Structure 1
Amino acid sequence: MSIHFAEHHPDADESVLFLHGGSVAGWSWTEQAKALPDHHSLLPDLPGFGASAHHAWTDLSTTADELADLVRERGHGGQAHVVGLSLGGVVGTALAARHPDVIRSVFVTGAILQGLRGFARWAGLAQIPLFGSTGYWKTMAKVYRLPPDAVDVFVETGVGIDRDSISRMVPELYDGVPARDLDGLRRFVGPFLAIVGEKEPRVIRDAMSEVTSRVPHAVARLAPGMHHVWDVESPELFHTALAHWLTTGEPSPALLPVAPG
């Protein structure tokens, strides 16, 4: 069974691969994809999520390999720009490290490349048994401040996440991406933009160094005033930043530079 995906603007020019976070599926990128009529968009449901719930997550490397196959088969010219948030940011970074030949550029945000420790790790793992609860996902919809028309599909997606997949995926992400795997980024020569919300935890901001230390031309930026899920918090700002990146290969002036230290 292969990864399920949706497409938008298939007759447009360059392809964009959108990689979703760990509590949604490809549908979460629909409005952003629709707002890019000059780009062909691929919106996969990652293994264990959405319509790929029965396509089990095995590990990060396998997922990156499967996505590389998707881009080679469906991406225009066998390549795509990569856009990833949270889980999607980690997967997109791993994809660039393992298969730089299929990537035109990378735009990732909120990627916990160094993993999580302490209370944050404990709290994340403690939530896994709640994934089958409708009430849990309704509460999370409020936490994420989802628009009312997205709540039902969000809850349905959450309840439908494959529990075995999530039980493998979350500890793997919380352990962090091994340095030997990230070292593949040294072969990546395309534009790379690593973003973190200005109000995200320090551990996520610190993780950007895993990219910038390996990709000298990579750029790090802050999304002003934003938390982790800023594609929902401010879809307009996200679209502004993404459209500017895809058009110019440069970070949008709407983003802030990262202060040293």
Structure 2
Amino acid sequence: MESGPAGAESILFIHGGNVAGWMWRGQAEALPGFHSLIPDLPGFGASAGESWPTLVEVADALADLVRAHGEGGRAHVVGLSLGGVLGVILAARHPDVVRSVFVTGAAVRGVRGVTRVIGLAQIAVWGSRSYWTGLARSFRLPADSVDEFVTTGLGIDRDSAGRMMREVYDGVPASVLDGLRGLQAPLLAIAGEREPRVVRAALRDVVGRTPRGTAAIAPRMHHVWSAEDPELFHRVLRHWLARTEASPELRPA
């Protein structure tokens, strides 16, 4: 999906791993002065028929999208969860297309132990409507988003999702993250205060590698806080886009 005025600065919105580009619709509509690029990643949404390749290949394709459709071949990169991981990889490999980076819930360290086992086990029930309905409740999605969330979930290519999830759970190699050392654009990495410790700990893996990086905590928020408190998310994002500094509503990490 592409929207907003031609000639305005572009934002590339990268969705999470249980949804599709529609998760960013409200945020894009609330930023009418920007040109928005909101793709569906391979295996998800309108791209459910496309097989998931690798994180690096998807990040490279997103960079090509920005070069082809972004204003001046550049964009502000915004990503949550899987989208946050991809935003980090994109910035590390293609700093030339990046105006700024705003990522949250980017578990670049990977996921181990019981959390990994439970996460992978869920793939077996992805064809169940009750699973997606329960997941919507756990994510605290607003009522008007639940039907679209469930429909999107039931349409996700299970094999693609399994490959994607295993790759994310393995973590982003240090050799890829080290590309952030050449990123001159400002970067803000956020974790919700109530996210798993591994997500909060990963902030230093991102921010510690980039010369203009800032880490912050979203107070009281869980992983999908763009749905949990969309107004807070929008205020924080708008502040970043206007000033490239962390909103005072966030807490330093």
Q: Which SS does the other structure have where 1:10 is aligned? A: coil
User: Partners of 1:10 and 1:154 in 2: how far apart?
Assistant: 28
> Once the two structures are superposed, what CA deviation does each residue of 1:13-40 show, in whole Å capped at 9, x if it has no partner?
1000001111100000000000001111
> Once the two structures are superposed, what CA deviation does each residue of 1:177-200 show, in whole Å capped at 9, x if it has no partner?
000111111111000000000111
User: Partners of 2:207 and 2:81 in 1: how far apart?
Assistant: 17
Q: Which SS does the other structure have where 1:231 is aligned? A: helix
User: Partners of 2:231 and 2:148 in 1: how far apart?
Assistant: 21
Matched, 1:34 2:29: yes
Moved over 6 A (4+): none
Q: Show the counterpart of 1:232.
A: 227
Matched, 1:79 2:101: no
Q: Show the counterpart of 2:198.
A: 203
> Once the two structures are superposed, what CA deviation does each residue of 1:223-255 show, in whole Å capped at 9, x if it has no partner?
011010100111111000000000111111111
Q: Show the counterpart of 1:214.
A: 209
**Structure 2: any 5+ residue segments left out of the alignment?**
none
Q: Show the counterpart of 1:3.
A: none
Tell me by how many angstroms 1:135 deviates. Answer: 1.3
Tell me by how many angstroms 1:12 deviates. Answer: 5.5
**Contact in 1 for aligned 2:42/2:52 (Cα 8 Å):** yes
Give me the CA root mean square deviation.
Answer: 0.9
TM-score, normalization by structure 2: 0.98
Q: Show the counterpart of 2:147.
A: 152
User: Partners of 2:143 and 2:80 in 1: how far apart?
Assistant: 21
What is the identity, as a one-letter code, of the residue corresponding to 1:209?
R
Within 5 Å, which residues of 2 pair with 1:121-160? 121-160=116-155
Q: Show the counterpart of 1:109.
A: 104
**Contact in 2 for aligned 1:112/1:176 (Cα 8 Å):** yes
Percent identity over paired residues: 61
| Equivalent position to 1:59, from 54, 58, 72 | 54
Q: Show the counterpart of 1:170.
A: 165
Q: Which SS does the other structure have where 2:38 is aligned? A: strand
Q: Which SS does the other structure have where 1:48 is aligned? A: coil
Aligned residues: 253
Q: Show the counterpart of 2:174.
A: 179
What is the identity, as a one-letter code, of the residue corresponding to 1:8?
S
Alignment CA distance shift 1:100-1:173 (3 Å):
same
